[in-house]
């Protein structure tokens, strides 16, 4: 007994020493790399450090959710890039997940036509590189008519090669941002209160519409309509919301690609549900929809979530393709900042840190979701 204990302590100590040595070694390697970079940069006469973040950029870029100007410091420009990345990333993640579940379920369906259609969709969009799909889609979109020949639906929605123009609320951008945050908060509250799905959706929709109308009534400039409708003025549309063609191309292509992958994950999950469970449902006389929502999906979710989270992280990383079509995502703004300021190492470090943070957060959320979904008795 005593020797066994002793051996175990010794093994434990040995492991501690190895780990300690590894940590010391990695610290030395990292510090050495930083030191050698610093010496080399100094030798080349390159100014290093983060002082440039406070300097104005002096250049402009295509897309921002918040007001921007050419006098913004690099820090604000990079922050806008971060917001753009999060904006495209989260919209794409949500839409890809929804479409992925739809197509994945369709691939598992017994209806041959539905199954074939979903299979074709998945095979096409999964097997063509994302960047190729994006460039193809963008080349098609920029050949739409120009703003002065824009296609219009009821003179309220316009489609041109500058973007999609839709009517919006006649409120300042800050109020619009506030509404968006309030709407997201409502989702969080409804989830925390464990409201059933359908009723929750209804509450959320009602609450959001009510919030929008209330905000428009309060904040719309006096004497103007609460809706702002796009109208051609000179070279562009005034009023309404313009979704630039680059943003639309980014979201559509990422969603097509991401949802094809998620569809495969969902199909795999559904396949793993033992046939006996489905048959038991059928024996009880449950409808196929009921079998899907009460038996198959809850069972499948447990094997879907881990690979699904992987796909989410992948989609977040895919936002870097904006650089190919002139969409100002974080990667594009970092890349332009590198040429304009020359601070390559610092900017790449910022880029890596931003992605690490976001993807680590998504992974943590995935772990939490996985833990919650675990069968309690297992």
What is the contact surface with another protein in residues (CB under 8 A)? 41, 43-47, 58-62, 70, 139, 142-143, 146, 161-162, 233-236, 238, 244-246, 323-326, 328, 332, 335-336, 338-342, 344
Residue 164 vs 273, nearer CB to another protein: 164
> What are the distances in angstroms from CA 10 to CA 18, 19, 151?
12, 14, 77
Evaluate the CA torsion angle 305, 307, 308, 309 in order and state its sign: positive
Residue 61 vs 82, nearer CB to another protein: 61
**Shortest Å distance, C-beta 38 to another protein:** 14
Residue 303 vs 344, nearer CB to another protein: 344
Direct distance between the N- and C-terminal alpha carbons of the chain, in angstroms, rounded to an integer: 33
Place of tokens 């120009």: 146
Cα–Cα distance measured from residue 192 to residue 190, given in angstroms and rounded to the nearest whole number: 5
Q: Which residues of 218-245 are buried (b: 16+ CB within 10 A; e: fewer)?
A: ebbeeeeeeebbbeeeeeebebbebbbb
Secondary structure of 247-282 as H, E, C letters: HHHHHHHHHHHHHHHHHHHHHHHHHCCCHHHHHHHH
**Shortest Å distance, C-beta 154 to another protein:** 23
Cα–Cα distance measured from residue 240 to residue 147, given in angstroms and rounded to the nearest whole number: 14
Residue 183 vs 335, nearer CB to another protein: 335
Q: Are 257 and 125 in contact (CB under 8 A)?
A: yes
What lies within 8 Å, CB to CB, of 153 at 6+ separation is: 159
**Shortest Å distance, C-beta 348 to another protein:** 10
Q: Are 267 and 104 in contact (CB under 8 A)?
A: yes
**Shortest Å distance, C-beta 244 to another protein:** 8
Residue 288 vs 342, nearer CB to another protein: 342
**Shortest Å distance, C-beta 254 to another protein:** 18
Taking the C-alpha atoms of 262, 263, 266 and 271 in order, what is their torsion angle to the nearest 10 degrees? -140
Query: Residue 119: in which H helix or E strand, if any?
Result: helix 112-127
Residue 58 vs 276, nearer CB to another protein: 58
CA 121 to chain centre: 21
**Shortest Å distance, C-beta 28 to another protein:** 24
Residue 65 vs 297, nearer CB to another protein: 65
Residue 41 vs 86, nearer CB to another protein: 41
Q: Are 334 and 81 in contact (CB under 8 A)?
A: yes
**Shortest Å distance, C-beta 200 to another protein:** 39
**Shortest Å distance, C-beta 342 to another protein:** 4
**Shortest Å distance, C-beta 171 to another protein:** 21
Residue 109 vs 232, nearer CB to another protein: 232
**Token reading at 73:** 């410091």
């Amino acid at each position: 007994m005593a020797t066994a204990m002793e051996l175990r302590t010794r093994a434990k100590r040995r492991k501690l020493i190895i780990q300690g040595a590894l940590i010391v070694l990695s610290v030395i390697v990292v510090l050495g790399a930083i030191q050698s970079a610093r010496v080399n940069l100094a030798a080349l006469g390159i100014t290093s450090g983060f002082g440039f973040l406070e300097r104005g950029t002096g250049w402009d870029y295509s897309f921002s959710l918040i007001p921007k100007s050419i006098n913004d410091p690099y820090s604000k420009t990079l922050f806008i890039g971060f917001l753009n990345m999060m904006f495209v990333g989260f919209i794409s993640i949500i839409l890809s997940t929804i479409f992925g579940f739809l197509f994945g379920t369709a691939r598992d369906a017994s209806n041959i036509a539905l199954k074939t259609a979903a299979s074709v969709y998945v095979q096409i969009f999964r097997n063509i590189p994302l960047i190729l799909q994006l460039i193809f889609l963008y080349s098609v979109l920029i050949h739409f008519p120009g703003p002065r020949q824009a296609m219009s639906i009821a003179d309220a929605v316009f489609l041109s090669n500058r973007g999609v123009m839709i009517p919006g609320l006649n409120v300042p951008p800050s109020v619009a941002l506030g509404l968006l945050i309030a709407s997201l908060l409502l989702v969080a509250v409804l989830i925390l209160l464990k409201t059933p799905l359908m009723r929750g959706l209804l509450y959320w929709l009602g609450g959001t519409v009510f919030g929008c109308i209330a905000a428009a009534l309060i904040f719309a400039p006096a004497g103007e309509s609460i809706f702002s409708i796009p109208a051609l003025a000179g070279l562009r549309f005034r009023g309404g919301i313009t979704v630039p063609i680059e943003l639309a191309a980014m979201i559509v292509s990422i969603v097509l690609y991401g949802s094809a992958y998620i569809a495969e994950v969902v199909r795999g999950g559904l396949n793993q549900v033992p046939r006996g469970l489905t048959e038991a449902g059928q024996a009880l006389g449950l409808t196929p929809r009921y079998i899907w929502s009460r038996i198959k999906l809850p069972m499948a979710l447990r094997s879907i979530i881990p690979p699904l989270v992987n796909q989410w992280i992948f989609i977040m990383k895919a936002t870097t393709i904006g650089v190919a079509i002139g969409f100002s995502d974080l990667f594009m703004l970092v890349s332009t900042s590198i040429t304009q300021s020359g601070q390559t190492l610092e900017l790449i470090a910022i880029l890596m840190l931003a992605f690490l943070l976001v993807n680590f957060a998504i992974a943590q959320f995935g772990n939490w979701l996985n833990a919650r979904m675990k069968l309690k008795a297992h």
